[in-house]
Structure 1
Amino acid sequence: MTSPIEPIVGRYVRLSVDGTPHRIYFEEAGNGRPVVCLHTAGADTRQWRFVLNDPAFTQSHRFLAFDMPWHGKSLPPEGFETAEYLLTTQAYLATVLAFCDALGLDRPILAGCSMGGRIALQLAALHPERFSGFIAIEASDFQAAWYDIDWFHRPDAHGGEMGAALVSANIAPQAPQAERWNTQWMFMQSGPGVFRGDLSFYTRDDSLVARLGSIDTRRTPVHIMCGEYDMTCTPEDAKRTADAIDGATLVIMKELGHFPMSENPAAFRPYFEKALERMALHHGVLTDA
């Protein structure tokens, strides 16, 4: 980039999720086939900033990354002060679909990381007709928590710093120091109880397991990516999941952890480039058939 002004444009869109109005913040950049990018639990769209700033990517793709309700610049819904935030599969599905509807996106590619990768696989099973392909990053069928999620919302502990501590163990040792800390900073800024609410979905909803066999990769390709240093969604977890989806492809990313697009964007880039190429190749095959 030669200009000091980045090409990313941030805007808000109003939409309804299961009858509840939301004001959702999103960022976009580029032109071409739309790619909707989903952030991890407890974070926001800043995790995708390197992809949205990549001129080679944005030359042929329109990237859109949005903050889930309660995250980043997307405020909680009215009345949140009397509610407990616990993300559910149904609410997550409805939010992604409502965003695509509001933006008028015609069968975009869906790229999600961690809980975003989990919901990408749910959408591949339940709503494949709405998308042209799925890039599921650090995604697997299910993991029970190996930690106490209630530690992330206690009166005697700083939830954001506790979340960052968990995150630090899932970043590969090869990550540049600056991006390691930038990645952790997003979790330090997370709203009270938000990381816990996301992890409730991630560690307690096992409904995807029985749905994996219904995913038809002949219709919409599924490409799973996993960092070799991910201890939350391990390479073994990712392989188990890919093996359960007939036709799914899998790559284990060297020197990367659970937040690859954020923790080490240079190392992540060639893997993501290949993933986009896989989506384009499949689309070309379908078009010529």
Structure 2
Amino acid sequence: MKLIIRILGVLLLASGVFLVAGLLATWASDRTVAQLSARWAQPPSKFVEVGGMQVHLRDEGSRNDPLPIVLLHGTSASLHTWDGWVASLKDEHRVIRFDLPAFGLTGPDPHNDYSIAAYVRFVVAVMDKLGVQRFVLAGNSLGGQIAWETALSHPERVRQLVLVDAAGYPFVPTSIPIGFRIARMPGLRVLMEHVLPRGVVDSSVRNVYGDPSKVTRELVDRYYELTLRAGNREALAYRMDQGLSGDENQISKLKLPTLILWGDKDHLIPLDNGKRFALDIAGSKLVVFDDLGHVPHEEDPKKTVEALKEFLAKP
């Protein structure tokens, strides 16, 4: 009996040592905007004050463009997710993108309000700050829901709408990134405010790609480092708690030219949702990319931006 107790004691001690070692190995302190800006806020990045936040923003291309293109990223992403599109568009168009509250270098909202209504107000406030009255609005995932809600609330501002694997209807994922699952679990998400295994980020990014082999080390670096922006991990938990509120019955009231882009290998928001958008928005066009996932604009910007250009070229 004493031998068994002694063995159990050794096992508990060893488990404790491994646990502490694991925590130390994955301990990830918050990083300041100044620390991150050297890599992730190079020109043409700038910061503008909106709603008590210093918003990380890039405004590129022709200032003579009467209808700028505004790009909204999804959960845990940043304005960098649109790099490929911007490179292809900025010679002919003015392209505006920014980090939404809770993400990227913009960071937390001072009131922890991450409702869709708050995001809509934020988008309009940024446009007012830039003096842009009318624009084309594109959004991916969470950004897609913000986009169509903005178009409904401010039809005089949004002239054309682009939905990229957008949220809006109830959906049943076939696979959820592990980072999102952790953010919904009260005990673990508190721990994740202090530790962040790189493998969690790597797995989460691969999960939203149709072809995980396209996920590069630099791409994981970006998602990992910007997650460490001071306050972002706690803000993500608040964002998850507040959900994707919105009335799907309002979608059919959208009366503007709309392009819907979807990755057939999207395991988070399945293609059925894209087909529902296409049915509910009269005159909309759905383009499906067979080999792409939840972030097709990032996974294959060249292929996806061509569909956008064709849409923009129509009278």
TM-score by length of 1: 0.78
> For residues 218-259 of structure 1, what are the alpha-carbon distances to aligned partners after superposition, in whole Å with 9 as ceiling and x for unaligned?
xx2111111111011111111012211222211111311111
Q: Does 1:170 align with 2:208?
A: yes
Q: Does 1:34 align with 2:68?
A: yes
Q: State how many pairs are aligned.
A: 257
| Contact kept in structure 2, 1:15 and 1:98, CA below 8 Å | yes
* Residues 29-178 of structure 1: pairs in structure 2 closer than 5 A: 29-31=60-62, 32=65, 33-54=67-88, 57-77=89-109, 80=110, 85=112, 87-143=114-170, 148=181, 149-151=183-185, 154-157=189-192, 158=195, 162=200, 164-173=202-211, 176-178=214-216
Q: Which residue of 208, 213, 218 maps to 2:247? A: 208
Residue of structure 1 equivalent to 2:12 = none
Residue of structure 1 equivalent to 2:238 = 197
> For residues 144-181 of structure 1, what are the alpha-carbon distances to aligned partners after superposition, in whole Å with 9 as ceiling and x for unaligned?
575644248623444675455334222112652427x6
Inter-CA distance 26–257: structure 2 relative to 1 (3 Å threshold): same
RMSD of aligned alpha carbons: 2.8
SS at match of 2:96: strand
Paired with 1:225 and 1:187, the residues of 2 have a C-alpha distance of 27
SS at match of 1:132: strand
| Contact kept in structure 2, 1:221 and 1:279, CA below 8 Å | no
Per the TM alignment, residue 23 of structure 1 is displaced from its structure 2 partner at its CA by: 1.7
Inter-CA distance 221–145: structure 2 relative to 1 (3 Å threshold): same
Per the TM alignment, residue 8 of structure 1 is displaced from its structure 2 partner at its CA by: 5.6
SS at match of 2:68: strand
Q: Which runs of 4+ in 1 moved over 6 A?
A: none
| Contact kept in structure 1, 2:78 and 2:99, CA below 8 Å | yes
Paired with 1:187 and 1:242, the residues of 2 have a C-alpha distance of 34
Inter-CA distance 187–241: structure 2 relative to 1 (3 Å threshold): farther
| Contact kept in structure 1, 2:201 and 2:220, CA below 8 Å | no
Paired with 2:131 and 2:197, the residues of 1 have a C-alpha distance of 35
Paired with 1:273 and 1:45, the residues of 2 have a C-alpha distance of 20
> For residues 47-90 of structure 1, what are the alpha-carbon distances to aligned partners after superposition, in whole Å with 9 as ceiling and x for unaligned?
11222223xx212111111011232221435xx5xx6x451011
| Contact kept in structure 2, 1:134 and 1:222, CA below 8 Å | yes
Q: Does 1:274 align with 2:310?
A: no
Paired with 1:174 and 1:222, the residues of 2 have a C-alpha distance of 29
SS at match of 1:14: strand
Q: Which amino acid is 1:28 matched to?
A: D
Task: Structure 1: give runs of 5+ residues left out of the alignment.
Answer: 1-6, 285-289
Residue of structure 2 equivalent to 1:287 = none
Q: Does 1:22 align with 2:60?
A: no
| Contact kept in structure 2, 1:226 and 1:233, CA below 8 Å | no
Task: Structure 2: give runs of 5+ residues left out of the alignment.
Answer: 1-41
| Contact kept in structure 1, 2:56 and 2:99, CA below 8 Å | yes
Inter-CA distance 72–129: structure 2 relative to 1 (3 Å threshold): same
Bigger Rg over Cα: 2
